[in-house]
Amino acid sequence: GRYLGVMPAYSAADDALTTKLVTFYEHKKDSSVPSHQATVLLFDPSNGSLKAVLDGSVITAKRTAAVSAIATKLLMPAFAEVLCILGAGVQAYSHYDIFMELFTFKEVRIWNRTKENAVKFASSVNGPVQVCSSAQEAVTGADVIITVTMATTPILFGDWVKPGAHINAVGASRPDWRELDDELMKNSVLFVDSREAALTESGDVILSRAEIFAELGEVLNGTKPALPEKTTVFKSLGMAVEDTVAAKFVYDSWSAGN
């Protein structure tokens, strides 16, 4: 699969206009080039001129992890001690960094299809990370689970998941790709970033026919409850406005320094 994604957005609140360009190339072998590469163009909304070209890969990695962290803050069980990460790519690193900063987990576990990448991850991050030889081993008893894989068929199964756990499902961004099985999708409370996007882009949502309980925004503005005592899934596809806000934040910080 090869894709070029174009994600334009305007935020009146931030007075920012951006477009993110993302290329996604499925690499057959381990490539030195990442599967996703991105660039963010920041425009002046008053006259349309280009103000900056930003590294979209860093922005994507950080904003995605930040949104997962917000979902986790709202939806994770009260006494969350074990964090599990499935996948060991760019998003695994960005999620790990922000989750370590915001939460206090007693144990962190990782599983990756190619074990050497999980080992590399564990040795290059700051805290102790346990490398698991199977996804099931990593998931069993975990309070918070993050799926950041390139899986096209389920790698996380409902009967492994501890009742009350919270799952951030970040991979499987195509309508025919899955990371989670039907049992997990149907027996958990489902939160999404965008209903519209989830119903057209997320294989996990479309193929399981799971009912969307709420958008994350509805929980943040108080129109829907969080239900942290339930088993919860946050399906993250990413929204262009998240890139806009992040890019403007980076640009403003840079401008202030110059």
Kindly state the average pLDDT of the residues 85-102.
97
The pLDDT assigned to 67 comes to: 98
Model pTM?
0.93
Backbone angles phi, psi at 82, to 5 degrees: -115, 125
Mean pLDDT of the chain: 95
pLDDT over threshold 90, residue 82: yes
Least confident of 3-12, 24-33, 54-63, 115-124: 24-33
Q: pLDDT digits over 21-53, tens only?
A: 999 887 766 677 887 899 999 999 999 999 999
Question: Residue 129 — very low, low, confident or very high, per pLDDT cuts 50/70/90?
Answer: very high
pLDDT over threshold 80, residue 142: yes
Q: Which residue has the tokens 């994507």?
A: 60
Domains of the chain: 2-58+241-257 (3.30.1780.10), 62-239 (3.40.50.720)
Question: Residue 70 — very low, low, confident or very high, per pLDDT cuts 50/70/90?
Answer: very high
The DSSP-derived string for the chain is -EEEEEEEEEETTTTEEEEEEEEEE--SS--SS-SEEEEEEEE-TTT--EEEEEEHHHHHHHHHHHHHHHHHHHHS-TT--EEEEE--SHHHHHHHHHHHHH---SEEEEE-SSHHHHHHHHHHSSS--EEPSSHHHHHTT-SEEEE----SS--B-GGGSPTT-EEEE-S--STT--SB-HHHHHSSEEEES-HHHHHHH-HHHHHHTPPEEEEHHHHHTTSS---TTS-EEEE----HHHHHHHHHHHHHHHHHH-
